[in-house]
Amino acid sequence: MTSPDLHQKTAEHSILLSFGQPDPETLPIAELREALLHVMNGPEVGAALQYGAEQGTRSLLEVLVEKINREQWLAVRPENLMITAGSTHAVDMLTRLHTQPGSVLMLEAPSYVDSLHLFRDQELDLHPLPMDEEGLIPGALAEEIERLHARGLAPRLLYTIPTFHNPTGRTLSEARRVEIIALAHRHGFWILEDDVYRDLPFEGTVPPSFYALAGGKQVLSTGSFSKTLAPGLRLGWLLAPVEEVQRCVNFGLTCMSGGANPLVAHAVAAYCLSGAWEPHIQRQRVLYRARRDRALAALERLMPPGVTWTRPAGGFFLWLSLPDHAQASQVRQLALQQGVVLTAGEGFFVEPTAGAHHLRIAYSYASAEEIETGISVLAQILRELR
């Protein structure tokens, strides 16, 4: 999440390589206005303005069932889904239902900074797992489980961002996903798969989700409209076995407030049913792919020796590793002085020092020209630090 204040203060003059959100130019304002008017002028307006069914707006559930079954070759039913106020809402609710303070949650190192905030709020016992170029390493996960067992502990959950990971951009291979599912089934923990970037591949095929590979067994999966439509809608979903969805339906917050954002959900369903969402996603893939290419070309051309970076096949981010003499927080500060906003690595780690030599570049928000300028400023800073 990014503070609106920071946004206002920095947006005008800075190159924002820190925002993991859609380019403002891509927001389909006219289409969403039309969808909202369609709801406001239609017979469902009364229902849309009342508390909604706990599981979420039916028409949107049906849109998602159709999409997930078509794209992932699944046969999920509306009972397997729940509409949430973004993936974050789903992750918060699912971890609360599956843990108590002190429960062991394993996660990739690095991981999504705001999920770390949630897990810390819930006082979970966080166990970071190493990654390599292909993502989470199943052997390291197996070793961590053994270490936990030796201390009389057992993991409850594995939280993972397997596809176009935030912050590294890496994608976990299908073979590794299968190995990890076998470990989950053998040791009884659940996999919480945060899959908000699944719709944004630039080339090749996206590996099947954990949910698809495990037939839903011990997998909880989340998705979002934040990356492919607009984060301000505050709309996402969770996909899980029916009993798990029921637990979320009976969750205190859901009982109290009803289904998530009924008016917005009705409007987004109308937008999707108009056929506008898929072409919109296609256009975004083309746009972000061009930006990813521009960023990679600039890194290749400009970075001094000793700096390495990931090559994401989709999503919003790439991840830089700096040489030992370059402190990410100092580099970030120097870049800021020249109007380039980057994210230093510390916040993405359970042990912040692990991120001291990493930077995240988001290529979704800034224009291709800005990305190139920002990278050239960064490269100059790194050359001068040598």
Ligand X SMILES: Cc1ncc(COP(=O)(O)O)c(C=O)c1O
State the residues that interact with ligand X by CB under 6 A: 20, 86-88, 112, 161, 166, 194, 196, 224, 226, 231, 236
Helix 262-273 vs helix 58-72: angle between axes, to the nearest 10 degrees?
50
The torsion angles phi and psi of 286, rounded to 5 degrees, stand at -65, -45
Nearer to ligand X, 90 or 148 (CB): 90
Distances (CA, A) of 314 to 171, 180, 287: 9, 22, 11
Is 311:357 a contact under the CB 8 Å cutoff?
no
Residue nearest to ligand X (CB): 86
First to last CA, the chain: 33
- When the beta carbons of 86 and 207 are compared against ligand X, the nearer one is 86
Minimum distance, C-beta of residue 115 to ligand X, in the bound complex (Å)? 6
Structure tokens, 372: 């190139």
User: What is the distance of C-alpha 289 from the center of its chain?
Assistant: 17
Strand partners, 341: 16
Least distance from ligand X to the Cβ atom of residue 88, Å = 3
The token pair that represents 294 in the structure block: 């521009």
Note whether 160 and 192 are within 8 A (CB): yes
With respect to ligand X, which residue has the nearer C-beta, 55 or 160?
160
| Between 229 and 334, CB nearer to ligand X | 229
Question: Residue 367 CB, nearest distance to ligand X (Å)?
Answer: 20
* C-alpha–C-alpha distance, residues 289 and 315, integer Å: 9
When the beta carbons of 294 and 360 are compared against ligand X, the nearer one is: 360
Single-letter residue type at 374: G
Q: Which CB sits closer to ligand X, 189 or 237? A: 237
Q: Compute the radius of gyration of the chain from its Cα atoms.
A: 21
Calpha distance 150→317 (Å, rounded): 37
Least Å from the CB of residue 319 to ligand X: 13
Q: How far is the CB of 21 from ligand X (least distance, A)?
A: 7
Pick between residue 135 and residue 381 the one whose CB is nearest to ligand X: 135
Q: In 122-224, which residue ranges form alpha helices assigned H by DSSP?
A: 138-150, 174-187, 210-213
The least distance separating ligand X from the CB of residue 220, rounded to whole angstroms, comes to: 13
Question: How far apart are CB 114 and ligand X at their closest, in Å?
Answer: 7
Determine the Cα–Cα distance for residues 87 and 90; give it in Å rounded to an integer.
5
Q: How far is the CB of 150 from ligand X (least distance, A)?
A: 31
Q: Extract the tokens encoding 143.
A: 């070793």
CA distance 241 to 76: 9
Q: Which is nearer to ligand X, 197 or 309 (CB)?
A: 197
